[in-house]
Amino acid sequence: MSTTESAKVPLRKPIGLPLLVLASGQLVISLDYNIVYVALPDIGAGLGFSDHDLQWVVSAYVVATGGFLLLGGRAADLLGRRRMFVVAALLYAGSSLVGGLAPTPGVLVAVRAVQGIGGSLLFPATLSLITTLYDEGPDRNRALAVWGAAGAGGLCFGSLLGGVLVEAFGWPSVFFVNVPVAGALAVAGRLLFPADGPWDRSRHFDVAGALTATGGITLLVFLLVQAPAEGWDTPAALASAVLSVCLLTLFAVVERRSRDPLVPARLFAHRGLLAAMGVTALFSATFSSVPYFLTLYFQTVHGYRAVATGLAFLVPAVVVAVGTQAGERAVSAFGMRRMLVGGMTSGAAGAAALGLALTSDGSYPSLLPGIVLLGLGQGAAWTGMWIAASAGVAPGDQGVASGLASTTLQVGGAVGLAVLVALAGGVGQNASGPGLLDGIRTAVFAIAGGTGCGALALLALRGVTSTSP
């Protein structure tokens, strides 16, 4: 069990304001991931980035987040969920302030890595606070649906907000906007969440496990982000692959011998958590890759400006938010497995319809049937997979369970996007010509196929969670 008071005694159900703070924490994470995309050209021009190095404004965040999520999840269990929430929010605020003032490319890339570490601490702390403050069942499902709606909205609204801020105030504004929001979250979390209680000195933090897991996963995510663009046979890629395998192997050895392992072995016997980890990886590899290809379609094929592209994502944002709420209700009505199968089937049908509508002279309304089906399925699956990841997990393990599921989310996204870009013929922000549209459509059809296969696998799988019918 956890060393915190929240794991030892039942907690009174919090009022709506704490949930609003937790949802806002997820909104900040989602916004911070997406808001810099539309600012990249201005950042590159303003700080003198080379075309090759500009990608690290995004990649540094992804690599750091993916590498530290497991450590962040266990830290929430052992050091206190409220403590980690406050520390992570303050880390976001401070690094965002430095980012807006960054004088050189190196400083900005370092800032993005620190923001990624902040996200790796904030995400599992936020999720484990929800899963321990709210009892398993309808209350937790409803809270996760609200939290999920905030995250889904942030992924889509980030593009719009980034476009507006860059055009009105310049690229530093996409960093400065986080400072008051993250600072307010730290204060609100300190005031509204239950105290963690004293640390249990009899429990030891698995330092060796933390170092090997963090190093191995960080190198793995680095490899998956860097190799598709630079090549899989480069010295950096080969060195990353070898070191990652060595560190993750050493991590497995350390965990078997540790008295207080970073990842308790009992979690790998939890069938529902393992299934949820598979779903999060597939979700990120498919659903989460759609905005990348839609952005290419809007901006490169149809010539949308940053603000227009952001506006084009408003409908997906609203539909995904509706899907998160529908998913929560569907769990109660049909059970977890059936809801996830339905959500992924809807997503597959929507991606197929979207792929057919992506044409050189197609209008935005022609995309809406696919967008609606895809968004509803995405929202429902997002809520359902986090309900599945927390179901039946002891309160003292909720943080590391969240870290495991969110790590597979990050790794799945890196693998999925790399594979889809390769299938699409290597399309990117600077691609042009008729091959670009064909590549985008190929990627979207592949997303439909992958999501459909996931639905079939879940249909054949019994006992995804303890709440499955």
The average pLDDT across 152-168 equals: 76
Residue 201 has pLDDT above 80, yes or no: no
The average pLDDT across 100-120 equals: 91
Which range among 71-80, 235-244, 255-264 has the greatest average pLDDT? 235-244
The average pLDDT across 333-345 equals: 89
pLDDT (tens digit per residue) in 120-135: 899 889 988 988 888 8
DSSP collapsed to 3 states, 133-189: HCCCCHHHHHHHHHHHHHHHHHHHHHHHHHHHHHHHHCCCHHHHCHHHHHHHHHHHH
The average pLDDT across 352-359 equals: 94
Lowest mean pLDDT among 75-89, 163-177, 387-401: 387-401
C-alpha–C-alpha distance, residues 150 and 192, integer Å: 19
C-alpha–C-alpha distance, residues 85 and 64, integer Å: 17
C-alpha–C-alpha distance, residues 390 and 150, integer Å: 19
Q: What is the pLDDT of residue 344?
A: 93
Lowest mean pLDDT among 37-51, 287-301, 329-343: 37-51
In the chain, the percentage of residues whose pLDDT exceeds 70 is 89
CA dihedral 59, 229, 298, 327 (to 10 degrees): -60
DSSP collapsed to 3 states, the chain: CCCCHHHHCCCCCCCHHHHHHHHHHHHHHHHHHHCCHHHHHHHHHHHCCCCCCCCHHHHHHHHHHHHHHHHHHHHHHHHCHHHHHHHHHHHHHHHHHHHHCCCCHHHHHHHHHHHHHHHHHHHHHHHHHHHHHCCCCHHHHHHHHHHHHHHHHHHHHHHHHHHHHHHHHCCCHHHHCHHHHHHHHHHHHHHHCCCCCCCCCCCCCCHHHHHHHHHHHHHHHHHHHHHHHHCCCCHHHHHHHHHHHHHHHHHHHHHHHCCCCCCCHHHHHCHHHHHHHHHHHHHHHHHHHHHHHHHHHHHHHCCCCHHHHHHHCHHHHHHHHHHHHHHHHHHHHHCHHHHHHHHHHHHHHHHHHHHHHCCCCCCCHHHHHHHHHHHHHHHHHHHHHHHHHHCCCCHHHHHHHHHHHHHHHHHHHHHHHHHHHHHCCCCCCCCCCHHHHHHHHHHHHHHHHHHHHHHHHHHHCCCCCCCCC
Lowest mean pLDDT among 156-160, 198-202, 336-340: 198-202
Q: What is the pLDDT of residue 427?
A: 60
Residue 469 has pLDDT above 50, yes or no: no
C-alpha–C-alpha distance, residues 207 and 260, integer Å: 10
Lowest mean pLDDT among 26-40, 356-370, 438-452: 26-40
Residue 146 has pLDDT above 90, yes or no: no
Residue 117 has pLDDT above 70, yes or no: yes
- Higher-confidence residue of 159 and 95: namely 95
Instruction: Provide the 10 A C-beta neighbour count for residue 255.
Output: 19
Mean pLDDT, rounded, of the chain: 82
Q: Write down the pTM of the prediction.
A: 0.76
